Structure 1
Amino acid sequence: MGFGRRDAVVSREQKLVFAGIYVLKKMDLKPAEGGMEMPLVLPSELTPLQDVLQELVNADFVEVNRRKARFEVTKKGLAYLSEIIDEAEALVDEFDEASLEEAVAELRSRNVDVLRARFLWGWYDGELDDLVLFQQRRGAEPVEPWWADYLLSDAFYEALRSDYE
């Protein structure tokens, strides 16, 4: 163990799952609602999402549309997104009136991943829609201007975890 090194907040696999959920929402929403198309050839600011998109393709949640030169959400992907929305809605419905301490204690007593619950809550209620604004609201220094980099960074998951630890 090196000087001051901490264990990673989440594994690479967990980051790919959370980022996949985030990207699916972005792809499902209309551009006017904050959504976006994912081109097959990603611009440099989105290249960190290459592995995320590959995982989504492998899970059959998105597919390659060569004619339109973009990734598209599949029916299976929409069904998965619907399940995630239901999971997030259930969390919000159950714990909206609870104190943070009560909610975390209850989630832990059920062996629910508290980080996942925290991510889904912010994802569902729109807190995470703009990750630059999310950082600015928390006084992050420096602010990572490329949301895809931040979405896959330890700093993002450390910020989420700091809300309940």
Structure 2
Amino acid sequence: MRDEISEVLRALGIAPEALAPVRLTQYERVLNTILNTFTTYGSRGRDQFWLWEGFKGEQAHAMLPEPLDPALLLQFVAPDERVWFVTEDWGGTKRDGHYWVFEGQTRAITQLLQELFAFEYYLVAKDFSWLLCENHHNTLIGVGPTMVSRVRAFESARQQNLQA
């Protein structure tokens, strides 16, 4: 997965400062903080599939009829905001755990997601105050007060548009 992402980033001409894997010296700290903050698994979550099944705290869900258009992520997170980007290792190439962690701008992540599909990912605030996930059931999940309110507003507007 990491190699695929790196290939797509190169092909798109996305600079490393816009989106890059976290350094090995940071990886464990960042991932463990995410797991301890947002899941009931804690650091054991490194070996779990589907982190969203173990989210803790208040959450909001938006059930989508199809995968989210990545450009819509910009309704939730500013294009230039730097976030942690966590992806599952669907290819099974990772030696330690099931997740890759990247750091970068939301705009670069949306460009990447336009080229890749059918995998779960998580966007996490750099200060670990919120998390946004899209899972393989086309469900958008927000955790943390900021993202809970944004996902609720998104789902409410979506439901109103469906009824109109």
**TM-score, L = length of structure 1:** 0.25
Greater relative contact order, per chain length (Cα 8 Å cut-off, separation 6+) = 2
TM-score calculated relative to the size of structure 2: 0.26
CA radius of gyration, larger in: 1
Q: Which has the higher helix share?
A: 1
